[in-house]
Structure 1
Amino acid sequence: MSLRAVGLLVCANFAPAVFDYMTRISFLFCLVLLISFSGEKLFAQQGSTLEINQADVLIGASGFERLVGNVKMKHQNSLISCDSAHFFRAENKARLFGNVQIKDVEDPIVTNSRYAEYDGNTKIAKLRNKVVFTNQETTLTTEFLDYNRETNVATYFNDGKVVDSVNVLTSKRGVYEINYEKITFLDDVVLVNPDYTMKTDNLVYLTIPKTAETIGLTNLISKEGNTLDAQNGSFYDTQKKQFRFFDGIVETEESRVKAMELFYDENLAYYEGKEDVRVLNKEQQTEVFGDEGKYWEERKYSLVYGKSLVRRYFEKDTLYMTADTLISQDSEADTAKYLLAFKSIKLYKTDLSGLADSLLYNYSDSSIQLFQKPVLWNQKSQISADSMVFYIANENLDRVRMKDKAFAIMTDTLLNFNQMKGRQMDGKFVEGQIQTLEVVGNAESLYYALEADTVNQGINKILSASIKMDFEEGAVRRANFSVRPDGKFTPVQLITEENSRLEGFQWRIEEKPTKETIDAWRKVEEIDSKQKNLFNEPDVKLMMPTEEEIQNQLKKSGFGPDKP
């Protein structure tokens, strides 16, 4: 066989394999080209390149170009203009100088600055010096702003100010999420509008509903001088003028309201508090506490319920009262000022204690009416009736009137029980001690006859239509009767427990409320007057120089250490 024949035979056998190999190579090459083309197209769709639309002068090659005068560029939906620019075509970046403006043709967003850096790949614009960011009615001004057009988020630092149709907000740092119309202000935040000024360190502001939410300490002063403070943040609807404060205090010239959660509607002048509520009436020097409460400022009407407590502040003492529910009404007219209390009434003052089912306190005459078989203790006496009213003057119990089944018990110097009872009883007190008692209707009295306040001689028991007695330290000094009395004397040796008690006698000293009783009902945590308030912080912070700075300044002044 010739060499040519051998060659033809080999080629004939090998050709299909070669053809198959070449075919696969061509396919892979085409696939690579297709992928490369698709990638370039995908990159062009996603990243896009910066385009030069206009410039008075164009200097440079393809790697770096300098654009001077009336520069106009375009990137996707953004139109860019400036006085001059450095365009890095390969990196798809530009540095912009003088009268920089980036305007979105679809969204109403315009940014202005003196200098900016724009990255066409990441869509991030870094704007510096006299930055103004505008979105419809909202304008943000700062010196340093990073604007991510991909996420539509603008971030500023080193002080910024946001102005809309209602409010002006300033802070050290901030994040503006345009898609959500949300701005987060951080560090030294101040919100100012025509009605008030607010300070905090963390505030989230929604520009469309114009609501402000704070985290942590928040302090506010209204144009009238009222203050609103919260330790754990707040929520404020600036259009509806509704506040919600957490661990908050609202203080006006006339009142102070505090609660763990406090709601305030400025238009309605209405407060609502939950958990540890307290309302102070400064004029009446009365403070009420409870689990929940409501207060109508214009009506000066408050409702507090849930383990309620009242503190009536006097110059030298405080009257405490517990109840399930409290209703307080203040008014321009003295006769319309009152406090109502219902259920579980307990009274305590240094020299006065009492029990009742319900109570009415009239501010005009400092009278306290007790209902449903009340009991009152005053130093050495105990008085009870179906109802009674007593008056406080000069911080002491002054007089009392008891109606129906009135019963009075006084202990003398030997701790004997002097007793009086009848249909109606009037008592007069001097410096807190009972001085006179007058009983009208079915009057009965039982009192011990003492010699020199030290020797018990016996018991006088008297029945009469009316009886009036004068006392000194609980002992009877004088007795007067309207008609001839029916009396009986029992010598000391014949005294028994039975004949030494009037019918209905009950000495209930173990029920007498004490300060411990009040504290067990509701232990009040006093307001810390030294709590931090951002309005007390100086606006200008003085920075102390470092030791190195001091030495350098001394050297410049010629007072540095001598050279060797």
Structure 2
Amino acid sequence: MTIRFFLTSVFWILIFSLTGEAFAQQSSTLEINKADLLRGAVGFDRLLGNVEMKHQNSLIYCDSAHFYRAENRAQLFGRVRIKDVEDPITTTSTYAEYDGNTKVAKLRNNVVFTNQETTLYTDYLDYNRETNVATYFNDGKVVDSTNVLTSERGVYEVNFERITFRQNVILVNPDYTMKTNNLIYLTIPKTSETKGLTNIVSKEGYKLDAQNGSFYDTQQKQFRFFDGIVETEESRIKAQELFYDETKAYYEGKEDVRVLNKERQVEVYGDNGKYWEDRKYSLIYGNALVRKYFEKDTLFMTADTLISQDSEADTARYLLAFNSIKLTKADLAGIADSLVYNYADSSIRLFQDPVMWNQKSQISADSMIFYIANEELDRVYMKDKAFSIMTDTLLNYNQMKGREMTGYFVEGQMDRLIIEGNGESLYFALEADTLTQGVNRILSANIKLTFQDGAIRKANFGIRPDGKFTPVQKIDEKVSRLDGFNWRIEEKPDRAAIDAWRKPVEIDLDAENLFNDPDVKIEMPTEEQIQEKLGKSGLVPIKTMLVPLPKKGNQIEVELL
């Protein structure tokens, strides 16, 4: 290769490079398509009447403009419209500034930004055509086919069809109204995601609140709340993560789930849960807990799994509990493997080695049913291997057993006991409630006993009872115990045992709610304030009397000052 050829090649490479740069610069230059009048001024050109300019893929229309040719920017006045010839985006306003170098349009006053079905209304909008990002501040409103969203500030990322709303965000659609301070809305799938406190009120008056944000598919009508609460007229549901399908009326919660039935005054807790609103059916599992609220007292119950059915029919209202049953109330406590609570008659059925304690008595059987009336233990029915133990004033163990037993309570204490089938009774005879005389042991098919402070006061036996009295001097372990005796007081649950299983954290019903805040209208600046602000930045438009001149064909008349 000769030196001359090498230098020639370098020369043409430089020429092509410079030409490419010039072409690139030219492609980003604002161009004048037409105007009724073009007048020169110091540092800029005045375009007057039916102005049309072009920048890359955008056509710019306005009533008049100041074109700073050297700076490649323009100020646009009156009926401003910027239309993208390739994308379905059109922006209108009464004033705008357009920079051809940065590709940023600053639109002010009555701004309308339209992208297919989505329209943004505001008075202050900066639109970067390079990144296709529109930013508004000092109030804006976005409307599409489903929702209306308003906020103080927002960013519309057109390429991603994503709008980020900040400060005093309100989303309104036909089904609900949402308030938050940080919301991301995707215009194509019509989904919204919030950060931080989020409050929703449905058209039916339901309240849906989240402390740590939410996600909502507005078309599928599916919500997901974080540290959320859904409250209706009949129920209140809370979870660390709460999913709600409005169409199916279905809830699903994860971590610290709780469901309150307001009518029944029953609240259930668990690690996870599901609730079908139409069926009023709930499933709670994982360290489950029940609180049944009475006027004077509360019944607590633990289980591995809870199923609640609250149908319209009285016979179909129940609560099922499985495995590790423990329950406690002021006047009773109990354990069992499984349980059925019937809402209609306030009966509780216990299965598989159930044991109940109330004050001075312990009862056990293969299965049992006890009933609550006027918020107190009313009666209990025990079936198969029924065994009752009561302590008297001297802490002796009075014992009864039989195939079936029915016990009746007064003010929380055993008042009378009826034994049917293979009845056996062992009770201590006392003198003035201070001295044990001996032990009575009686066998009878049927036995009826009445008590006072745990001591037997009266006994009625069936036909031909078989009885034996043992004086105190001859009482030993064998004489003082019926077969099957097992005093299990160490298994009796209390509130400490309930709290160790799951200790409910009370809901703060006075927590912050954006619907409680008064609606404040942000005052928009006046035209004079806008002009003053623009003046301080050196962007005040020069007001000129417009004198229309006759056109000469397609030529633009130029008048130099």
TM over 0.5: yes
Deviation of 1:32 after TM superposition, in Å, equals 5.5
Deviation of 1:318 after TM superposition, in Å, equals 0.5
One-letter code aligned to 1:227: K
**Separation in 2, partners of 1:370, 1:24:** 101
Q: Which residue of 2 aligns with 1:438?
A: 418
Native 8 Å contact 1:62 1:89 kept in 2 = no
Q: Which runs of 4+ in 1 moved over 6 A?
A: 22-31
Q: Secondary structure at the match of 1:127?
A: strand
Q: Which residue of 1 aligns with 2:476?
A: 496
- Give the one of 271, 274, 293 matched to 2:251: 271
- Give the one of 112, 131, 139 matched to 1:151: 131
- Give the one of 188, 208, 213 matched to 1:228: 208
Q: Secondary structure at the match of 2:473?
A: helix
**Separation in 2, partners of 1:341, 1:91:** 78
Task: Render the CA deviation track for 1:249-302: whole Å, top value 9, x for unaligned.
Answer: 000000011111110000000000111111111111000111110000000000
Q: Secondary structure at the match of 1:292?
A: strand
**Separation in 1, partners of 2:470, 2:236:** 60
Q: Secondary structure at the match of 1:44?
A: helix
Task: Render the CA deviation track for 1:17-57: whole Å, top value 9, x for unaligned.
Answer: xxx8x999998777655543332123223xx2111111111
TM-score with structure 1 setting the length: 0.90
Q: Do structure 1's residue 39 and structure 2's residue 7 form an aligned pair?
A: no
Native 8 Å contact 1:399 1:429 kept in 2 = yes
Q: Which residue of 1 aligns with 2:176?
A: 196
TM-score with structure 2 setting the length: 0.90
Q: Which residue of 2 aligns with 1:169?
A: 149
Written as runs of structure 1 = structure 2, the 5 A alignment for 1:61-210 is 63-210=43-190
Task: Render the CA deviation track for 1:214-247: whole Å, top value 9, x for unaligned.
Answer: 1111110000100011111111000000001111
Q: Which residue of 1 aligns with 2:464?
A: 484
Question: Alpha carbons of 1:474 and 1:149: their partners in 2 closer, same or farther (altered >3 Å)?
Answer: same
Q: Secondary structure at the match of 1:535?
A: helix
Deviation of 1:380 after TM superposition, in Å, equals 0.3
- Give the one of 266, 270, 276 matched to 1:286: 266
Q: Which residue of 2 aligns with 1:450?
A: 430
Q: Secondary structure at the match of 1:253?
A: coil
Native 8 Å contact 1:388 1:400 kept in 2 = yes
Deviation of 1:76 after TM superposition, in Å, equals 1.3
Deviation of 1:383 after TM superposition, in Å, equals 0.2
Deviation of 1:470 after TM superposition, in Å, equals 0.2
Q: Which residue of 1 aligns with 2:444?
A: 464
One-letter code aligned to 1:36: L
Native 8 Å contact 2:151 2:166 kept in 1 = yes
Native 8 Å contact 1:331 1:337 kept in 2 = yes
One-letter code aligned to 1:327: I
Q: Which residue of 1 aligns with 2:365?
A: 385
- Give the one of 509, 512, 522 matched to 1:532: 512
One-letter code aligned to 2:153: R
Q: Secondary structure at the match of 1:397?
A: strand
Task: Render the CA deviation track for 1:132-163: whole Å, top value 9, x for unaligned.
Answer: 00111111001100001111110001110000
Long gaps (5+) in structure 1: 1-19, 544-564
Native 8 Å contact 2:138 2:522 kept in 1 = no
Question: Alpha carbons of 1:30 and 1:383: their partners in 2 closer, same or farther (altered >3 Å)?
Answer: closer
Question: Alpha carbons of 1:474 and 1:33: their partners in 2 closer, same or farther (altered >3 Å)?
Answer: same
Q: Which residue of 2 aligns with 1:553?
A: none
**Separation in 2, partners of 1:540, 1:41:** 52
**Separation in 2, partners of 1:117, 1:204:** 28
**Separation in 2, partners of 1:320, 1:408:** 23
- Give the one of 218, 221, 228 matched to 1:238: 218
Deviation of 1:451 after TM superposition, in Å, equals 1.4
Native 8 Å contact 1:374 1:388 kept in 2 = yes
Task: Render the CA deviation track for 1:300-341: whole Å, top value 9, x for unaligned.
Answer: 000011111101000011101111111000011111100001
Q: Which residue of 2 aligns with 1:546?
A: none
**Separation in 1, partners of 2:415, 2:43:** 108
Q: Secondary structure at the match of 1:493?
A: helix
Q: Secondary structure at the match of 2:419?
A: strand
**Separation in 2, partners of 1:30, 1:443:** 119
Question: Alpha carbons of 1:24 and 1:444: their partners in 2 closer, same or farther (altered >3 Å)?
Answer: closer
Q: Secondary structure at the match of 2:312?
A: coil
Q: Which residue of 2 aligns with 1:562?
A: none
Question: Alpha carbons of 1:343 and 1:32: their partners in 2 closer, same or farther (altered >3 Å)?
Answer: closer
One-letter code aligned to 2:254: K
Q: Do structure 1's residue 323 and structure 2's residue 303 form an aligned pair?
A: yes
Deviation of 1:454 after TM superposition, in Å, equals 1.2
**Separation in 1, partners of 2:521, 2:179:** 16
Q: Do structure 1's residue 218 and structure 2's residue 170 form an aligned pair?
A: no
Long gaps (5+) in structure 2: 524-561
Q: Which residue of 2 aligns with 1:420?
A: 400
**Separation in 1, partners of 2:276, 2:396:** 51
Aligned residues with identical type, % of pairs: 74
Q: Secondary structure at the match of 2:315?
A: helix
One-letter code aligned to 1:273: G
Q: Which residue of 1 aligns with 2:534?
A: none
**Separation in 1, partners of 2:42, 2:86:** 30
Question: Alpha carbons of 1:31 and 1:495: their partners in 2 closer, same or farther (altered >3 Å)?
Answer: closer
**Separation in 1, partners of 2:229, 2:521:** 28
Q: Secondary structure at the match of 2:278?
A: coil
Deviation of 1:358 after TM superposition, in Å, equals 0.5
Q: Secondary structure at the match of 1:463?
A: strand
**Separation in 2, partners of 1:383, 1:200:** 56
Task: Render the CA deviation track for 1:89-144: whole Å, top value 9, x for unaligned.
Answer: 11110000011000111111110101000011111100001100011111100110
Q: Secondary structure at the match of 2:19?
A: helix
**Separation in 1, partners of 2:156, 2:191:** 14
**Separation in 1, partners of 2:176, 2:47:** 49
Q: Which residue of 2 aligns with 1:17?
A: none
Deviation of 1:525 after TM superposition, in Å, equals 1.2
One-letter code aligned to 1:40: A
Native 8 Å contact 1:288 1:304 kept in 2 = yes
Q: Do structure 1's residue 333 and structure 2's residue 313 form an aligned pair?
A: yes
One-letter code aligned to 1:431: E
Question: Alpha carbons of 1:493 and 1:65: their partners in 2 closer, same or farther (altered >3 Å)?
Answer: same
Q: Which residue of 1 aligns with 2:528?
A: none
Which structure is richer in relative contact order (CA contacts within 8 A, separation 6 or more)? 2
Question: Alpha carbons of 1:345 and 1:23: their partners in 2 closer, same or farther (altered >3 Å)?
Answer: closer
Question: Alpha carbons of 1:27 and 1:299: their partners in 2 closer, same or farther (altered >3 Å)?
Answer: closer
Task: Render the CA deviation track for 1:152-196: whole Å, top value 9, x for unaligned.
Answer: 110001110000000000011100010111001111111000100
Native 8 Å contact 2:139 2:522 kept in 1 = no
